[in-house]
């Protein structure tokens, strides 16, 4: 299995806002589109709107226009990026995944991901899952430094971070990535003729990651320097103290949104069936259990200001499985893990009124 490190990023893909528009405006529910057509749709949107959105973003950050304009070429790369982080299916005729449907569900404003808390949480979770090797290290460094320039980040990554990453992934069937990282470090720290190539490679690896952290509100950018904030500190504390599981991440994010109150059993049951009704799809009206859980947590945090407990959810699902076997169907994959859920109408009615 390849280590969680996204490979296709480059410095022409800085703004998460274009990813937001791609998923929410360029892909319709149930629609299948080839990669190139989705890229063309995004480019058609960008030609008309990107100047204004980058100016608005710049005004919030003390610059005339924020960097990150896309071209016809880089627009198509956002389709690959959306696939890599799980918002689009992996086959050539693209559809939104369950994660992509959640991403669409939590849109409040266009382009500004940090103004869409549900999207913000989903993307933080996606980056932790798919780009953990770089994501966690960048946050730790920024939390430690408080304020740091881009060149200082580049130097730290080349001299100290790359050896750590190589040590972590060595022997995990990814010799291409190991070789690429070694060459990048050697070039960046080498003589003048090699240094430019090393700088360009580091720029490709880090420019988009740093700007994505800014777009997510995890760090701030002022006068081309990066600054830690309360979310940087909360996530760093999570990585150090409780690890990088989804549950530990969601509990930490709940602190950022000042949510501490735990949901009651009645709130859990009613919200569980509410999310099921909103997201279950044909042909057998089933829903991904991971999707259901994620929507429970996100809606609880951003709308109801309550925190759903993982153990309480597991207890509820065990009750549904044992007491209503046949009316509640849990589907498993080849490894025996529960993946999808189907609930018959009569049980849904009982859950809505809290009578199970």
Claim to verify: residue 41 and residue 102 sit in the same structural domain: yes
C-alpha span between 275 and 316 (Å, rounded):
14
* Mean pLDDT value across residues 221-247: 90
* 161 inside domain: yes
Claim to verify: residue 228 and residue 315 sit in the same structural domain: no
Q: What is the pLDDT of residue 135?
A: 96
Q: What is the pLDDT of residue 336?
A: 79
**CATH number for position 320:** 1.10.10
Claim to verify: residue 232 and residue 140 sit in the same structural domain: yes
Residues 108-132: tens digit of each pLDDT:
999 999 999 999 999 999 999 999 9
Claim to verify: residue 56 and residue 140 sit in the same structural domain: no
Claim to verify: residue 93 and residue 153 sit in the same structural domain: no
* 100 inside domain: yes
- 8 A C-beta contact, residue 189 and residue 158: yes
Q: How many CA atoms lie within 13 A of 102 on its CB side?
A: 29
Query: Does position 283 have pLDDT exceeding 80, yes or no?
Result: no
* 257 inside domain: no
Of 238, 255, 278, the residue at which a domain comes to its end is 238
Q: What is the pLDDT of residue 29?
A: 67
Claim to verify: residue 231 and residue 142 sit in the same structural domain: yes
Q: What is the pLDDT of residue 8?
A: 82
Q: What's the domain range around 37?
A: 16-112
Residues 316-343: tens digit of each pLDDT:
999 998 999 989 998 888 887 888 999 9
Write the CA distances from 335 to 123, 175, 310, 314, integer angstroms: 27, 28, 21, 19
pTM: 0.93
Of 238, 253, 288, the residue at which a domain comes to its end is 238
* Mean pLDDT value across residues 230-238: 96
- If one counts the domains in the chain, the total is 3
Claim to verify: residue 137 and residue 233 sit in the same structural domain: yes
Predicted confidence band of residue 150 (pLDDT cuts 50, 70, 90) = very high
* 9 inside domain: no
* 245 inside domain: no
* 307 inside domain: yes
Claim to verify: residue 207 and residue 152 sit in the same structural domain: yes
Which of 65-74, 142-151, 240-249 is most confident?
Answer: 142-151
Claim to verify: residue 186 and residue 230 sit in the same structural domain: yes
* 344 inside domain: yes
Claim to verify: residue 143 and residue 232 sit in the same structural domain: yes
* Mean pLDDT value across residues 8-32: 87
* 75 inside domain: yes
Claim to verify: residue 138 and residue 227 sit in the same structural domain: yes
Percent of the residues in the chain that have a pLDDT greater than 90, as a whole number = 73
């Amino acid at each position: 299995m390849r280590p969680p490190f996204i490979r296709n990023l480059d410095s022409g893909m800085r703004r998460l806002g274009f990813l937001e528009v791609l998923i929410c405006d360029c892909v319709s529910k149930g629609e299948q589109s080839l990669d190139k057509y989705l890229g063309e749709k995004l480019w058609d949107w960008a030609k008309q709107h990107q100047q204004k959105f980058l100016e608005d973003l710049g005004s919030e950050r003390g610059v005339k226009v924020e960097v990150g304009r896309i071209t016809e070429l880089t627009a198509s790369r956002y389709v690959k990026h959306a696939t890599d982080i799980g918002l689009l299916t992996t086959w050539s005729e693209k559809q939104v995944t369950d994660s992509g449907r959640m991403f669409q569900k939590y849109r409040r404003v266009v382009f500004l991901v940090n103004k869409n808390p549900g999207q913000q949480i989903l993307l933080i979770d996606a980056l932790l899952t798919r780009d953990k090797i770089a994501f966690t290290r960048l946050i730790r460094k920024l939390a430690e430094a408080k304020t740091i320039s881009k060149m200082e980040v580049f130097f730290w990554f080349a001299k100290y971070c790359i050896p750590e990453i190589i040590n972590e992934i060595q022997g995990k069937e990814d010799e291409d990535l190991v070789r690429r990282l070694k060459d990048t470090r050697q070039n960046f720290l080498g003589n003048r003729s090699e240094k430019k190539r090393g700088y360009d490679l580091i720029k490709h690896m880090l420019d988009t990651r740093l700007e994505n952290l800014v777009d997510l509100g995890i760090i701030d950018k002022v006068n081309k320097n990066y600054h830690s904030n309360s979310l940087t500190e909360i996530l760093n504390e999570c990585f150090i103290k409780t690890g990088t599981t989804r549950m530990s991440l969601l509990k930490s994010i709940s602190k950022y949104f000042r949510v501490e109150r735990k949901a009651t059993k009645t709130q859990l049951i009613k919200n569980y069936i509410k999310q099921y009704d909103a997201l279950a799809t044909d042909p057998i009206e089933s829903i991904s259990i991971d999707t259901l859980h994620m929507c429970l947590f996100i809606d609880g945090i951003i709308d109801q200001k309550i925190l759903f407990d993982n153990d309480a959810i597991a207890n509820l699902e065990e009750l549904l499985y044992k007491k209503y076997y046949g009316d509640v169907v849990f589907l498993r994959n080849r490894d025996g893990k529960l993946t999808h859920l189907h609930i018959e109408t009569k049980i849904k009615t009982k859950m809505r009124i809290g009578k199970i």
